[in-house]
Amino acid sequence: MKTKRLGILISGRGSNMLALASAIRDGQISNASIAVVLSDKSAAAGLVSAREQGLTTTVVARRGRTREEHDAETVSVLRYHQVDLVCLAGYMRVLSSHFLDSFPQRILNIHPSLLPAFPGMNAQLQAIEHGVRFTGCTVHFVDETLDGGPIVAQGIVPVLDDDNEETLSARILEQEHKLYPQAVEFVVNGTYKVDGRRVLRSHD
């Protein structure tokens, strides 16, 4: 099987990007390599960590351009690196239709809640304030909705009575670092079909 080339998009810390890199290194994700780590922010800490790992990095800065203009450059950089699968990992931008159409069902995102609960920003705080007893994280295909595409995998994290945003976020993040590699391994090597909103495993 041909090795799938991943493009990982970040805007900040990049811990999920590092979790994917280490899962590829230790064989938990097979048939995949990281073609490029791309950030829209030159100051993203994750760029430094990616370079320390010997990964190729690039910055596509916003520079006052429209979303469409910025996305067009991002797509051409991803194409230049022959990316097969795009993994958003803390990438703080909503994608244009040109971007979505360029990688149909080949863009994944990780979100720190059990979607469809608590989409958007501050999902961990939303969970605490709502009083749910369980939250978690979700890996999903990206479509034109905000955190609303077909769900690939979810991980559950209990909310403890003495949790605050920081403690809960830290426990969800641990779970994210396990879930995202599992989901990428599944998308790269598993057999499935996307039927409406449902990602169905096939066993043939």
Tell me the C-alpha distance between 135 and 124, whole Å: 8
Residue number, 112 or 181, with CB nearest to ligand GRF: 112
Query: Could you confirm whether 111 is annotated as catalytic?
Result: yes
3-class secondary-structure state, position 126 = helix
Which residue out of 81, 98, 111, 140 is catalytically annotated?
111
Query: Nearest distance from residue 46's CB to ligand GRF, in Å?
Result: 6
Query: Nearest distance from residue 195's CB to ligand GRF, in Å?
Result: 25
Tell me the C-alpha distance between 85 and 89, whole Å: 13
Residue number, 12 or 105, with CB nearest to ligand GRF: 12
Residue number, 16 or 135, with CB nearest to ligand GRF: 16
Q: In what order do the strands lie in the sheet with 151-158?
A: 57-59, 32-39, 4-10, 85-88, 107-111, 134-141, 151-158, 198-201, 192-195
Query: Nearest distance from residue 18's CB to ligand GRF, in Å?
Result: 8
Backbone angles phi, psi at 174, to 5 degrees: -55, -45
Tell me the C-alpha distance between 192 and 204, whole Å: 10
Q: Taking a C-beta distance cutoff of 8 angstroms, is the pair 152, 183 a contact?
A: yes
- Given the rule CB under 6 A, which residues bind ligand GRF? 10, 12-16, 46, 89-90, 110-112, 173, 176
Residue number, 70 or 111, with CB nearest to ligand GRF: 111
Q: Which residues are catalytic?
A: 111
